[in-house]
A and B are shown apart, each in its own frame.
Chain A
Amino acid sequence: MPSLGCTSCGAPVAIVNRFSKVVVCGYCGTHLRITDSGLDISGKYPKLAEYPSIFSVGSSGTILGKPFRALGRMRYACKGAHYDEWFLEYDGGTAWFAEDDGTYAIYFEMLEAADLPDPEKIKAGQNMIVGGKKVMIKEKGIAEIESGEGELYYYQEPGTRVTFLDGISEGKKVSIEMTDDEVEIFTGRPLLRRDIEIAGEGP
């Protein structure tokens, strides 16, 4: 586990996952890009408000019986509410854990990019072919990244507007996130709270 110093405040910053692109300093909230040569300041943003979550950075345990570790999260604001996407080390790989209004889902990256129609023209209920699979779009919306904490594999600057499309394909949930620069596509499934066991949490 490499340990570096925050280039803003000098506090020690630990990097757990080799795929992480950004780490947020736990002391001063500076967003630090992880480069070959060390940490570059990406920007300084307010620390996340403490909205309740079942995880905190470093939480570990099992999801669906497989081990996980929560490395960091991105918080999104949408329609006057918030939701979190936690970056997880999960069963030897990576995953995103979405926590929204007390509901949970786990997503895995399906495609890093795909040709998609103009999001303006996409409507709920419409079919799209994504990675060769037919996806029915359930919901379309625009969220704004508020901030983040911990280590992040997927990263956008706070304030970035993300067009999201939630869909269904072959019995799985599909999540498409689009910014001006990037399109990422995930597939996943809903979780029950009982599917998640957090180490140190009482029965």
Chain B
Amino acid sequence: MGKGENSKLKCTGCGGDVVKTYRTVDEDEEAPIGRCLSCGKEYDQYTGEFYRYFADDFTQDVGNSMFKLGLKGILGGVEYEIIGRIRMQEEDEYEKSTWDEWLAVSSDGVQHYFVEEDGELNSYEEYVPESIDLESDTSSIIFEGKKINRDTAYSGRIVFFEGELTWKPEIGEAVTCYDFKKDGRNFTIEQTDDEVSVTMGVTVSYKDYIQAFGREDVRKSYENTMSKRRLYRTGSFIFTAGAMLSFILAIYSYASYETVKNVMVGKSVITSNEPVSENSQSSYFSQVVYGPFELSRKNGLYDVDIYIDEKVQRLNLSWQSFRFMLLKEDNFKKATDSQTGIAVLKNLFSEIDALKDPLESYTMAGDFWDEKGVDSEGTWHENDLRGSSSFVIDEPGKYYAYLELYSEKKREIDSVKYSLTAAGSVRYYLIAAVLMIVLIIVNITKARMYNELPFDVASK
């Protein structure tokens, strides 16, 4: 809603100029109001004047409807002619929240209201109830024995009218509305100071009404719209099936997780806490080989988890870095001529980075650390005692694991442990499922929102 002065707007109190402005209603929300420049009187949405001042804001799309005055259509053998319309704005909403009530007379001598709201179309006609009491008590009204709480009522304000109507409406006129169901039927009671109308309605299909009333171009646009929406709905069904399949496969895959046994057997310590110095930093260097152990899944995904076992030794405010390698038994034996002496191993791993063809099938490196300090919030203590990753081996078979450790202080080699788990492809299936869900949402949204028509049509 635009701000701005309009010289036509006059205060009903003093005749002064009224300008459109805003009033802060919540912390960060502003509601439009009219304010008199002379006397300061304000007109909010609970005044009739407001709707005259802001009429344009509620009526810019009055042409966007499947109905128009004089339009005729035949439904169920009865001819209807559109003769008038009122547009109502919900009083409690200061943003546009309107519905149109199109008045039609039928060749059967009945007045119908075709109500268009939020893409839905309802047909209402006069209903004479067996009993109705709008004065039963201060908290409710009674309609054919059904108690309807007054709190469920809402107010509408007339913001536009055209054609022939059963009364002469005024812009800003307030109408109290009760919408309720009884015995599976929809009823509406609308009450003004001068009139009470009681109508019974049914939700009708836009399709039938467009067939009956629509112009050829509207019919075409409707068919295109519905056809596209069907396509998106079909897409959403397919992606739903895909997502479900992915979930099932993910569950199956999760169930096939298996820890590789005996990965830390066959330990050969090559070096233990050997002091080294590099860039004037001293540390301790250790090397150890484990294995062989069996990795039996061809092209299988494995998770490796390397961690400090604090039961063996706490890291205790120091750091330790590691390099982990997997070496296929055949390649390992070939490189060592099947010798297992420490000197041979030491020689092999001191030159492993210089080999023309990599000996290792997989490598992973990382750091463990344990720190503490003091900041404005007090003492802190943080550490990272675990590293993990995933890998796929090309060939199943027996493998050795090599661990190379640098530490700030002398450390127990056994305090660094690792585990290998034959993982299913659960993460890939989950990623696929999430992608499918995104596509489902996109398709459902498009199935609801896609529209070639100049007016809203719900997907029913």
Contacts and interface: CB of A to CB of B under 8 A. Distances in A.
Interface of A: 79-81, 101-104, 123-127, 134, 136-141, 168, 170-173, 189-194, 196
A124 B195 contact: yes
A80 B168 contact: yes
Contacts of B110: 103, 190, 192
Interface string B156-187: 00000000101110000000000000000000
Interface residues of B, number: 29
B197 A102 contact: no
Interface of B is mostly: loop
Interface stretch (B1-9, B129-137, B218-226, B452-460): B129-137
B128 A192 contact: no
Nearest to A137: B196
Nearest to B77: A194
Nearest to B103: A101
B130 A138 contact: no
Given A103-B109, A192-B108, 16 more contacts: A101-B105, A102-B106, A125-B191, A126-B135, A136-B196, A137-B196, A138-B196, A139-B194, A141-B194, A168-B198, A170-B130, A171-B129, A172-B128, A191-B109, A192-B109, A193-B109
A139 B105 contact: no
A137 B198 CA distance: 12
Contact of B132 (A104, A136, A193): A136
B65 interface: no
B227 interface: no
B105 A103 contact: yes
B192 A124 contact: yes
Contacts of B107: 193
Contacts of B168: 79-80
Interface string B382-417: 000000000000000000000000000000000000
B74 to A, nearest CB: 14
B216 interface: no
Name the residue among A139, A172, A196 with the largest chain B CB count within 10 angstroms: A139
B80 to A, nearest CB: 11
Interface string B188-204: 00011111111000000
Nearest to A104: B109
B128 A171 contact: yes
B135 A170 contact: no
B193 A124 contact: yes
Contacts of B83: 101
Contacts of B421: none
B42 interface: no
A192 B132 CA distance: 23
B111 A103 contact: yes
B126 interface: yes
Identify the 3 closest CB pairs spanning chains A and B, nearest first: A102-B105, A193-B109, A125-B134
Nearest to A78: B167
B192 A136 contact: no
A131 B49 CA distance: 42
Given A101-B105, A101-B164, A103-B111, A170 B195 contact: no
5 contacts: A101-B111, A103-B111, A104-B109, A138-B197, A171-B128
B128 A102 contact: no
Contact of B108 (A125, A136, A194): A194
